[in-house]
Amino acid sequence: MPLFLSTQDPDFEPRFQALLGLKREEAEDVDQAVAAIIADVRARGDAAVIELTAKFDRTALTPQTLAFSPDEIAQECGKVSPDDRAALELAAKRIRAYHARQMPQDARWTDEVGAELGWRWTPVSAAGLYVPGGLASYPSSVLMNAIPAKVAGVQRLVVACPTPGGVVNPLVLLAAQIAGVDLVYRIGGAQAIAALAYGTASIAAVDKITGPGNAYVAAAKRRVFGRVGIDMIAGPSEILVIADADNSPDWLALDLLSQAEHDESAQSILITTDAAFGRTVAAAVEARLQTLQRRAIAGASWAHNGAIITVRDLDEAAALSNRIAPEHLELCVADPDALSQKITHAGAIFLGAWTPEAIGDYVGGPNHVLPTARSARFSSGLSVMDFLKRTTLAKMTPAALAAIGPAAERLAQSESLEAHGLSVRARLDALNGGRG
């Protein structure tokens, strides 16, 4: 059974704090093992990647077969049914259209002293996208990572997707083809992250690494950050549903289970203004669990991490939601737009009972790579901005330098940075005919 809480209970606050502090991330200490893997790949390159792939993924590779060939990709893509292909193409079209609107504009202007100022946006040159492998891999994640990169203008885009036991998901390769990926490597784990970050004889290094993975992948991304950029350190999936009693309990049960079925560490929470309705939803969850293929995973998630919280009103619900800062937030209330204005911390908001979170995972348009573990308090979901860099521009005229240069010289002197001040003073002296 999930945890039942009410804000009117005298012990609500400590129990809610315990829920917020629940550690759902991988408990296994993998950092030392990951450090050794990265060091090995840096030292031995292809040989280390090939040996580790054989060890962990039971796949024998050579430098020539680290990446899928065009013929292999064409053969695998040919196995995809027309209906599945059409669904992927629809998703890609909507994701591309949404992310195209995120592209920022360059700017340049002249200020009051005559200085020209501005900024310019340019893409990273190369990005590497990590996709978990095997039949459980997700083609939707390929689209969500690759399309923003292509919209941003990334020149070289590669995917690392392991094939444990030689198992390939044709949909992943088709998604990569639709999104415009240049190469798909059949490698995974910390060794793939290390190869993408540092490069090997056969794998060119990239500038940015994005995409989800297990604890080893997350630890590797932490370690290579600084050498390359990363999107985020993703934890287990989360959903928070705020609902009044005017909803289908079965719909909400399915929404809660849509995240619970990801992982035993996933978390599903319902906040409602009606305690009896909350119990009805809990019963609907139990009924639906009996029918799910992944009921063991979903059931463990719901029992260990799930919660139903009863609140006095929707203002209180919004306040609790902001403390939770969920990855996914569904607002199944009479006026979801009004309630959404009170939400300041959430990865993605789904407005109204007809907008299940699952639509956002596939074809809604917004990105499904979102901040977890309360990191929506300070970070955002993946976007074109993750693949762009802003470069500032400044151009002084002699008059502009004369107007603001003395202040720069003064500040440089206050910081005891003599050459800084002299570099400005030399130009000011030239303007004054050398008179100082």
**Catalytic residue numbers, as ranges:** 327-328
Which helix H or strand E contains 33, and what residues bound it?
helix 31-44
- Contacts of residue 18, Cβ cutoff 8 Å, sequence gap at least 6: none
Token output for 318: 């919004």
Strand order in the sheet with 107-110: 107-110, 116-123, 388-395
Please name which of 142, 163, 47, 137 lies closest in space to residue 91, comparing C-alpha atoms: 142
Which helix H or strand E contains 309, and what residues bound it?
strand 307-310
- Contacts of residue 82, Cβ cutoff 8 Å, sequence gap at least 6: none
Query: Cα separations (Å) of 83 from 73, 92, 167, 364, 396?
Result: 19, 14, 22, 18, 59
Query: In DSSP terms, which residues pair with 241 in a beta bridge?
Result: 270, 330
**What is the Cα–Cα distance from 170 to 155, expressed in whole angstroms?**
24
**What is the Cα–Cα distance from 220 to 197, expressed in whole angstroms?**
10
Instruction: Confirm if 215 and 153 have CB atoms less than 8 A apart.
Output: no
Please name which of 180, 151, 119, 83 lies closest in space to residue 382, comparing C-alpha atoms: 151
Please name which of 300, 309, 315, 247 lies closest in space to residue 278, comparing C-alpha atoms: 309
H-type alpha helices, 180-232: 189-198, 215-224
Strand order in the sheet with 328-332: 3-6, 307-310, 267-272, 238-243, 328-332, 348-351
Can you give 313-379 as a three-state secondary structure string?
CHHHHHHHHHHHCCCEEEEECCCHHHHHCCCCCCCEEEECCCCCHHHHHHCCCCCCCCCCCCHHHCC
Token output for 428: 């000011």
**What is the Cα–Cα distance from 283 to 90, expressed in whole angstroms?**
36
